[in-house]
Each structure stands twice: as C-alpha cells, then as structure tokens.
C-alpha cells in the first residue's frame, strides 16, 4: 500500500525524483506539503488547495487533538472525510509543538507532559499516545514522537534528546495497530555529524518505510543546516523517502533537494502570504510597498493562480484596506509558487540539469531572499488568523 519508487538520481548532485504511493493516491517527489494545522490550510477551500497543485497535506496532531479532539475527528470518519481533503495526508506527532511550548513542557523517558496553549489543560503525549491519536486521525503517514531541542544547545542535551528519540521511535513502531498507515522515523542529533549519522543508522535498523530529518531550522544558520544535510542524507536509506521537516524558504528547498531530500512542509507560504509577502521567481515582493500603488503588472505573468489575474496595485490595495481577500489571494499564490518550485525541480532532475537549475536559483534568491531560518512548522500557538509574525 506504500511504495516509494526512485525514478532518477541526478548525476552531479544528490537530487532525486520519485513517487510515493499511499492509500489516498500517489505523490510525486520532491514534494511540498502545505500545512493544514487545524484541518484546513489557512484561508483556502479544498478546491483552491487542489488548484495550487498540492498532492499531499500535513495535519498537526497536537492542534487537532486539542481541538476538535481526536475522538471527534475519528467519529466523523477521520481527517480525510472531516477536512474534505481526499488526497494523501501526513500528520506530525506533536514533538515540535512540545518543543515550542518549551518552559511549559516536562519531558521524561515515559512521556511529555504539558499544558494546552488554549485553556491550560494538562496534556500528556507518549510515543504510544502520539501514534494512537494519529491512527484516530487516519492519516496516510504518521510521524514518530521525537524530542526536539533548540539550537545552540549543550552537546549532552542534544545527545540525550536524540537517543530518547530513537527509543521513542521503537516504541511508536511497536504501538502501530493499523495496516494502512505508514510511520516515518525522525533523525535528530543537532549539528553534530557523529550524532546525526549514528541516529540515522539506529533508525535505519528499525526499518521504517520513510525517514525525516528533524531539529533543523531551530536557531542555526542556513549554511549550518545545509552542512548537516550534507552528512545526514548519505547516512539515511537510499531507497526510502527523506522528509525535511518544517523547511523552508524556496532557496532552502532547492538546496535540500540537491542533498537528496524528497519531501518538505512549511508554513512560510501561508504565514507570509497573510502578511503581504509574496514569493516569486525573481525574489520576494512586499505588497504594502508604496511603489506598487499604480502598478498594473501581476506578481508573475506566467503564474496560473487567481492572485496573478490581478494587478500588484489591486493586491496592495487589499492589504492597505484590511480586506481578507488579500491574505487569501497571496496565500494561494505562495502555495502555487512552492508547487511550481518543486515541479521545476522535478523537471530539472529528469532532464539531468539540476546543477544548472540550482545555480540559477542561488544567483537570484540568495541575492533577493527572505532572510530567515525560522522553522516553518506550526508551533503550539498555531498561527493567528491575522498573524503579524513574518519570517523575514
């Protein structure tokens, strides 16, 4: 029911093109998954989400377990039926949200105990509970519960969390009760090559159907992140999908693809879209800028999204006037843009020209990029409706 097929590996980079079959359909890789934290990608209908080109969506275990509750989602037929998204769904485990709650979470070998960001209610998440909830949600891919630490951190703290993550991965695997849900394990180990490689090997021995790289974009520089990928992906099973969690900017995605990563998720397209920052092939566009007041051109003339049927002047007006149509349209544009990036990457890999594609993207995006390595996983706060947090 799960099958990852590697179709082509680039000769000069580590970039790979492949396909991942799931019970709800096939995903072409490299793939970008929009984040549907609470059962919806913020501001988009299912039709609009599908039209962006998205093939697989991410849901957040922590958020859905708090609201409406895993039992409610299960009673309503699972997350596919509840949300209306009938394609593949991956759910995270809640590990990153525990991390983002930081001071309010207590982690022992048995479990994490923390207070809900909504009402302060005590909430427990063990590896077994994280899997149980994801089985209630009915996602196609469940993530194991991991222990994430902020960087920089003491070597001992990083090692302790990494080793716990390996033990928790084994417990998650043992807790699986469903045949139609695949579990992905998560490689931790901070910025340390020895720890990352050891962790990857330990998890490989447990034979999961897929592997993620966690604990990145949590305080380190982009260069450090790329360096970690340089030594981590080669230690991961070649024939299994590799998923870089919560990353990132367009440049991060094409850099990670060059290092053999197959899957991504990030809130940047929607979070930035709500705050008037649009991604384009020529670099980011800050739509509140007065220079667009009478600009007739669209964001990108060759983009098929509904935002690009409008002038920059109109999009700017929507933000200046506080119209929610602005956040909606630019979220759609950004999600469409991210899908266009991974599609272009797949095409470049198939044509054996990924190195040129990457060089071209570096030349433009490194000069005109959004400067951030902020992790683009939805944190416990879950993203306000009108979040003013930009990742600029």
Q: Kindly list the catalytic residues.
A: 92, 265
Is residue 322 at the binding interface for its own copies, with CB under 8 A as the rule?
yes
Q: Distance (Å, rounded) from C-alpha 136 to C-alpha 133? A: 5
**Contact status: 317 vs its own copies (CB under 8 A):** yes
Quick one: which of 247, 156, 235, 226 has its CA closest to 203?
235
**Comparison of 70 and 216: residue with beta carbon closer to its own copies:** 70
Q: Residue 106 Cβ, how far from its own copies at the closest point, in Å?
A: 26
Measured from the CB atom, the residue of 82 and 114 that comes closer to its own copies is 82
User: Which distant-in-sequence residues (6+ apart) come within 8 Å of 274 by Cβ?
Assistant: 42, 43, 327, 330, 331, 386, 387
Site membership for its own copies, residue 76 (CB under 8 A): yes
- For position 97 contacting its own copies by CB under 8 A, the verdict is no
Position among 19, 116, 325, 389 found at the interface with its own copies (CB under 8 A): 325
Q: Is the CB of 237 or the CB of 306 nearer to its own copies?
A: 306
Based on the shown chain and the rule CB under 8 A, indicate whether residue 45 belongs to the binding site for its own copies: yes
CB of 38 to its own copies, least distance (A): 4
Does 321 contact its own copies by CB under 8 A? yes
For residue 294, state whether it binds its own copies (rule: CB under 8 A): yes
Asked if 82 is part of the footprint of its own copies (rule: CB under 8 A), the reply reads: yes
Identified binder of its own copies from the candidate list 105, 170, 206, 313, rule CB under 8 A = 313
Cβ 325 to its own copies shortest distance, Å: 4
Question: CB-wise, 191 or 307, nearer to its own copies?
Answer: 307
- Comparing CB distances to its own copies, the nearer of 174 and 324 is 324
> Which pair of tokens denotes residue 9?
């590996």
| Interaction of residue 311 with its own copies, rule CB under 8 A | yes
Of 33-41, 138-146, 243-251, 339-347, the segment contacting its own copies by CB under 8 A is: 33-41
Q: Does 323 sit near its own copies (CB under 8 A)?
A: yes
Return phi, psi of residue 184, to 5°: -105, 135
Q: Which CB atom, from 218 or from 335, has the smaller least distance to its own copies?
A: 335
Residue 60, SS3?
Answer: coil
CA distance 126 to 129: 5
Restricting to residues 274-293, name those near its own copies by CB under 8 A.
293
Among 48, 60, 139, 183, binds its own copies (CB under 8 A): 48
Q: How far apart are the first and last CA of the chain?
A: 40
Q: Does 310 bind its own copies (CB under 8 A)?
A: yes
Distance of CA 307 to the CA centre of its chain: 23
Strand positions, DSSP E, the chain? 3-9, 16-22, 25-29, 31-33, 57-59, 89-91, 105-107, 112-115, 122-125, 141-143, 182-187, 210-213, 242-244, 263-265, 277-278, 285-286
HSE (side-chain half, CA atoms, 13 Å) at 373: 14
Encoded tokens for 130: 């994280």
What's the CA gap between 17 and 7, in Å, rounded?
Answer: 6
35 secondary structure, DSSP code: B
Q: Does 39 engage in binding with its own copies (CB under 8 A)? A: yes
- Within residues 344-363, the interface with its own copies by CB under 8 A covers none
Reference 267, options 132, 147, 92; nearest CA is 92
Q: Which residues bind its own copies (CB under 8 A)?
A: 38-48, 63, 67-68, 72, 75-77, 82-84, 293-294, 296, 306, 309-311, 313-314, 317-318, 320-325, 327-329, 332, 382, 384-386
């Amino acid at each position: 029911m799960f099958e990852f097929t590697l179709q082509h590996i680039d000769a000069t980079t580590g970039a790979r093109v492949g396909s991942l079959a799931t019970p709800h359909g096939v995903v072409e890789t490299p793939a970008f998954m929009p984040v549907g934290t609470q059962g919806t990608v913020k501001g988009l209908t299912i039709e609009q989400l599908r039209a962006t080109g998205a093939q697989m969506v991410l849901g957040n275990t922590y958020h859905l377990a708090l609201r409406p509750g895993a039992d409610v989602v299960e009673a309503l037929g699972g997350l596919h039926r509840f949300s209306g998204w009938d394609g593949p769904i991956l759910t995270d485990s809640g590990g990153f949200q525990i991390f983002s709650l930081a001071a309010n979470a207590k982690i022992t070998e048995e479990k994490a105990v923390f207070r809900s960001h909504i009402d302060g209610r005590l909430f427990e998440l063990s590896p077994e509970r994280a899997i149980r909830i994801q089985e209630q949600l009915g996602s196609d891919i469940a993530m194991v519960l991991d222990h994430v630490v902020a960087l920089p951190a003491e070597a001992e703290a990083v090692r302790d969390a990494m080793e716990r993550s390996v033990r928790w991965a084994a417990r998650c695997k043992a807790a699986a009760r469903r045949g139609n849900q695949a579990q992905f394990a998560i490689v931790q180990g901070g910025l340390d090559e020895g720890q990352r490689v050891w962790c990857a090997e330990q998890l490989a021995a447990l034979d999961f159907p897929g592997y993620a790289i966690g604990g990145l974009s949590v305080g380190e520089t982009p260069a450090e992140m790329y360096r970690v990928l340089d030594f981590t992906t080669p230690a991961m099973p070649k024939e299994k999908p590799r998923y870089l969690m919560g990353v990132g900017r367009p440049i991060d995605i094409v850099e990670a693809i060059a290092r053999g990563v197959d899957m991504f998720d990030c809130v940047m397209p929607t979070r930035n879209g709500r705050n008037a920052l649009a991604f384009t092939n020529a670099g980011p566009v800050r739509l509140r800028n007065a220079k667009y007041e009478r600009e007739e051109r669209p964001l990108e003339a060759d983009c098929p999204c509904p935002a690009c049927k409008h002038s920059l002047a109109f999009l700017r007006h929507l933000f200046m006037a506080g119209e929610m149509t602005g956040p909606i349209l630019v979220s759609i544009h950004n999600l469409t843009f991210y899908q266009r990036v991974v599609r272009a990457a797949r095409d470049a890999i198939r044509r054996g020209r990924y190195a040129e594609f990457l060089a071209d993207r570096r030349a433009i995006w490194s000069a005109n990029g959004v400067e951030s390595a902020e992790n683009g996983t939805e944190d416990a706060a879950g993203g306000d409706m009108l979040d003013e947090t930009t990742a600029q």
